[in-house]
Amino acid sequence: MAMKDKITQQSILLFQEKGFNQTSIQDIVRAIEVTKGTFYYYFSSKEQLLMDIHDDYITHLLSRQERIISKTNMTQKEKLTEIIRLLIMDIADKGPSARVFFREVRHLTDENIETISQKREKFRLHIEKIVQEGINQGELRKELRADMISFGILGVTNWSYNWYKPDGEVSAEELIKIYSDMILTGIAT
Partner DNA sequence: AATGAATGAGTCTTCATTCAT
Partner DNA sequence: GATGAATGAAGACTCATTCAT
Tell me: does residue 125 bind its own copies (CB under 8 A).
no
**Can you give the binding site for DNA, defined by CB under 7 A?**
3, 21-27, 34-42, 44-47
Q: Which three-class secondary structure string do you get for the chain?
A: CHHHHHHHHHHHHHHHHHCCCCCCHHHHHHHCCCCHHHHHHHCCCHHHHHHHHHHHHHHHHHHHHHHHHCCCCCCHHHHHHHHHHHHHHHHHHCHHHHHHHHHCHHHCCHHHHHHHHHHHHHHHHHHHHHHHHHHHCCCECCCCCHHHHHHHHHHHHHHHHHCCCCCCCCCHHHHHHHHHHHHHHHHEC
For DNA, the closer of residues 49 and 153 by Cβ is: 49
Among 110, 142, 163, 167, binds its own copies (CB under 8 A): 163
Tell me: does residue 131 bind its own copies (CB under 8 A).
no
Of the listed pieces 5-13, 89-97, 108-116, 152-160, which binds its own copies according to CB under 8 A? 152-160
For its own copies, the closer of residues 22 and 59 by Cβ is: 22
Among 155, 165, 166, 171, binds its own copies (CB under 8 A): 155
Of the listed pieces 42-50, 52-60, 125-133, 146-154, which binds its own copies according to CB under 8 A? 146-154
